[in-house]
């Protein structure tokens, strides 16, 4: 009914189940003659190993858990794409679990990973995650755990993240070198430590400079848009705007378009982005690249290291680079 099993093949060939099993995995104990016999019949009968049985027997799954706040986000989905791509190459699949940035759902999802005996889990923690026992449980089961992007400060573990400060500093210095005098800087969710770090580093760059700097925290395009609009309508409007994320960039640009300003001439804009959005505008926006794709590749590499030799804990930081557009 459902699928061919080793037992069926063994019966049909008059050999034992173990021989069939070994034949299929090219075990040296088995003669090449029976190997081909087995292979042929298995092929004919469309034999496919039962992943559950294997998982039960070996107590692992060829599956990675991937915990993420939301997949509808160009940064995360390029991360996911990268991890999936690499995983497939080595025979792993990925199980995606969204938390909706909700800490409770996050622990549910961690539980799911344990129940499924996944081979490893990648996690980008929710903003309000406070308790780390669920993560400890994962570790107790010897399941490799890789934090990425939003990583916990106060918890030890493998971490792969972007150079938070570098990207902010790079942006700030670009603005300073261009000789701008009044800067409006938009940052994301104030509660996130990544935001805090960036703000601090960014502000530091402007110390002792004769440049006016105003910083604001925003969570969505719909907040940024009106704020930019009113800022640009003031008498002393900013001559440079910094955008910490794509969403913010979109909000800023919407205001810029609304006022029919030309970026790079009437006002300068610089963003932190993974690169898609800056290129949909003309002139293109100058940005500091933070690639979800690269981050994904790095996280995957780290995961494989953990699986192969359960080595010590590492924190990896992906550097960012400035991509010149014509907006500043």
Which H or E element spans position 285? Answer: none
Q: Both tokens of residue 201?
A: 């580093």
The option from a copy of itself, DNA, none interacting with 29 (CB < 5 to 8 A, set by class) reads: DNA
Identify which of residues 21 and 227 has a Cβ nearer to DNA in the complex.
21
**189 and 178 in contact (C-beta within 8 Å)?**
no
Is there a contact between 120 and 146 (Cβ–Cβ < 8 Å)? yes
Q: Which residues make Cβ contacts (< 8 Å) with residue 120, sequence separation at least 6?
A: 64, 65, 143, 144, 145, 146, 303, 306, 307
Interacting partner of 34 out of a copy of itself, DNA, none (Cβ under 5 to 8 A depending on kind):
DNA
Contact 113, 124 (CB under 8 A): no
- Looking at residues 82 to 141 of the shown chain, list those that interact with a copy of itself (rule: CB under 8 A): 84-85, 88, 93-98, 100, 105, 108, 111-112, 114-117, 137, 141
Per 3-state DSSP, the chain is made up of helix, strand and coil in percentages (nearest 5) of 45, 20, 35
What string marks each residue from 29 to 58 as x (binds DNA by CB under 7 A) or -?
xxxxxx------------xxxx--xx-xxx
In the list DNA, a copy of itself, none, the entry touching 326 (Cβ below 5 to 8 angstroms by class) is: none
Site string for DNA, 179-218 (x = CB under 7 A): ----------------------------------------
Is 159 buried (19+), middle (13-18) or exposed (0-12) by CB count in 10 A?
buried
Residues of this chain that interact with a copy of itself (CB under 8 A) are 2-3, 46, 48-53, 55-56, 59, 61, 63, 70-74, 77-78, 80-81, 84-85, 88, 93-98, 100, 105, 108, 111-112, 114-117, 137, 141-142, 221, 250, 253-255, 257-258, 260, 262, 279-283
Residues of this chain that interact with DNA (CB under 7 A) are 2-3, 5-7, 14-19, 21-22, 24-25, 28-34, 47-50, 53-54, 56-59
């Amino acid at each position: 009914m459902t699928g061919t099993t080793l037992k069926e093949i063994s019966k049909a060939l008059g050999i034992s189940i173990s021989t069939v099993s070994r034949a299929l995995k090219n075990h040296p104990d088995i003669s090449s003659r029976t190997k081909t016999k087995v292979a042929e019949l298995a092929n004919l009968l469309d034999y496919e190993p039962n992943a559950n049985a294997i998982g039960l027997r070996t107590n692992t799954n060829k599956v990675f858990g991937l915990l993420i706040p939301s997949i509808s986000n160009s940064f995360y989905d390029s991360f996911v794409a990268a991890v999936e791509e690499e995983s497939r190459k080595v025979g792993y699949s990925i199980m995606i679990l969204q938390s909706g940035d909700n800490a409770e759902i996050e622990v549910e999802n961690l539980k799911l990973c344990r129940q499924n005996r996944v081979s490893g889990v990648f996690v980008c923690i929710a903003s309000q995650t406070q308790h780390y026992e669920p993560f400890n449980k994962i570790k107790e089961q010897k399941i490799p755990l890789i934090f990425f992007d939003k990583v916990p400060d106060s918890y030890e573990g493998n971490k792969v993240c972007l150079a938070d400060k570098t990207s902010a500093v790079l942006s700030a210095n670009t603005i300073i070198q261009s000789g701008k005098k009044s800067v409006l800087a938009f940052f994301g969710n104030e509660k996130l430590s990544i935001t805090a770090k960036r703000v601090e580093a960014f502000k530091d760059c402007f110390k002792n400079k004769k440049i006016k700097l105003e910083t604001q925290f925003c969570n969505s395009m719909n907040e940024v848009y009106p704020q930019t609009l009113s800022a640009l309508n003031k008498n002393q409007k900013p001559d440079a705007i910094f955008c910490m994320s794509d969403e913010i960039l979109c909000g800023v640009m919407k205001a810029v378009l609304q006022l029919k300003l030309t970026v790079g001439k009437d006002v300068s804009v610089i963003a932190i982005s993974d690169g898609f959005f800056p290129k949909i505008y003309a002139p293109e926006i100058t940005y500091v690249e933070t690639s979800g794709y690269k981050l994904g590749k790095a996280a995957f590499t780290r995961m494989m290291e953990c699986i192969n030799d359960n080595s010590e804990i590492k924190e990896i930081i992906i550097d960012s680079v400035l991509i010149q557009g014509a907006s500043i």
